[in-house]
Amino acid sequence: MIMIFGIPGPLLFGQLLLGLINGAFYAMLSLGLAVIFGMLNIINFAHGALFMMGAFVAWMLLNYVGIGYFPALILAPLIVGAFGIVLEKTIISRLYKLDHLYGLLLTFGLSLVIEGLFRNGYGSSGLPYRIPAALQGAVDLGFMFMPIYRGWVVLAAAVVCLATWAVIEKTTLGATLRAATENAPLVQAFGVNVPRLITLTYGGGIALAAFAGVLAAPIYSVNPNMGTNFINTVFAVVVIGGMGSILGSIVTGFALGVVEGLTKVFYPQASATVVFVVMVIILLTRPRGLFGKAA
Amino acid sequence: MLEIKDLNAWYGESHILHGVDFNVQEGEVVTLLGRNGAGKTTTMKSIMGLVPRREGHVTFKGVETIGMMPNHIAKAGIAICPEERGIFGSLSVTENLMLPPIVAPGGLSVDEIYTLFPNLKERARTAHGTRLSGGEQQMLAIGRILRTGAKMLLLDEPTEGLAPVIVQQIGRTIREIKNRGFTVLLVEQNFRFAATVADRHYVMEHGKIVDMIPNKDLENSMDKLHEYLGV
């Protein structure tokens, strides 16, 4: 057996892969949070609950309507994204003129309500969601066996993150979005319907969370708390990457997943806290985060 | 083309404009002169719908715009070049130039804008709009609204803090776009510059228009003007 730093190779690579998978979820969730924070100036505490909704909608599509995994990967983000748009239009948009804290409190409350409703309806023990047949099994990479579904999650997350980054950095729509983040009134004075752009941005960020939720459904059981488990770490990722930085949240998300995975191998006791230790160090040395811009 | 009657505007509790009245005819270049704090920039922002609260009448091409959102006012054909220039640092020079959507046919092409401002062509690949010099940022801020097809331009102190050679270039640009049939409302501190481009001058004091001076009478009104502007 190969040994690396006194650790058996398969154990090391296995944890590395687990770290990458967690990192993929951190990246997708913090990316959505970053986009939403940039446009709406709201720290969306409901993000974890909407991620969970993505998984539940995929489960419901399968069990009530018979719609399988791959269509759900498209449909669930559309459904949950539409729900996000309704939330923004009816409730969240009323808070833009108030202090940040109100948005934080409102979205936190929303997440409690959404999670409570699902707990009421489906209990908190978790519902199984089978890995689709096409993605079952494992491949031998030579140095380890990799479950195909886990490789697929990392790949799909990376593609979706890069696509989101490309839309924001390379397209006209993205340029309008970046400009509105800097100076929304002026962009509106050029003829852009900024309120609609804000609504669509929120819907897009939520759809991203729901997509992550569908990817997560076969790995973690579908249960009302699945978002809460992730979201605390994701907020630390956002702080480390730099509030509102697109590339920062992607890179930091994957990197911190790997850091967490490696910590599990070398010093398991610290694996639950390592992300927060990194956050403290970053806040002390670079308060704007790794990729944050100076004011 | 633009008719303003009894325009009032507020920022929170402060009442800034107290019944502004003036008009701009199609094809004219009209300036708003006045001391700092007289309400010139607030008038520009009020026309564009960019103040928290405004009342009165702003009629553009016969359409009342006082209740309209800024994006609808822009679509009606008014474009603003704000005092702080409003160049976006997270956008490249080209992205800044292409940002304002086309609202009507008849705007300048990108090549025509580059002919007016050759510097912009040289700097087109600059990754952050705010890396440009002050003069280049001003050219970009004017150039990008010439593209949109809006024929009524609000230019808020386009010469502020710029070198004389760039001020001349901006003067030439204003005369050129006037020849092309654009209508311009210009806020200026520098009335010597204003005299080289404008047809008429309105003088503002304490949130009101207090006088109107046709450009041909400017020479004879110097004493009055010095008193208004405190120079």
One pLDDT digit (tens) per residue for chain A, 295 residues: 667 777 777 788 888 888 999 999 999 999 999 889 888 888 899 999 999 999 999 999 999 999 999 999 999 999 999 999 999 999 999 988 888 889 889 999 999 999 999 999 998 888 999 999 888 888 888 777 888 999 999 999 999 999 999 999 999 999 999 999 899 999 999 999 999 999 999 999 999 999 999 999 999 889 999 998 788 889 999 889 887 788 888 999 999 999 999 998 888 888 888 999 999 999 999 888 888 765 4
Nearest CA in chain A to B92: A175
Cβ-Cβ contacts under 8 Å, A179 against chain B? 88, 90-91, 95, 99
Tell me the residue type at B45. Answer: K
Instruction: Tell me the C-alpha distance between A35 and A243, whole Å.
Output: 9
Handedness of CA B131, B137, B141, B142 (dihedral sign): negative
Angle of helix A9-40 relative to helix A194-216, nearest 10 degrees? 160
The phi and psi torsions of A47 (rounded to 5 degrees) equal -60, -45
Judged by CB atoms closer than 8 Å, whether chains meet at B70 and A175 is answered as: no
ipTM > 0.85, yes or no? yes
- The pTM of the full predicted model, rounded to 2 decimals, is 0.87
Question: Is residue A172 less than 8 Å (CB to CB) from chain B?
Answer: yes
User: Is B148's CB within 8 Å of A182's CB?
Assistant: no
- How far is Cα A140 from Cα A131, in angstroms, rounded to an integer? 19
Min Cα–Cα distance to chain B from A176, Å: 6
Any B CB within 8 A of A185 CB = yes
Helix (H, G, I), strand (E, B) or coil at B186: strand
Q: Are strands B200-205 and B29-34 parallel, antiparallel or unpaired?
A: parallel
The tokens of A55 are what?
Answer: 């998984």
- Percent helix, strand and coil across chain B, each to the nearest 5: 40, 30, 35
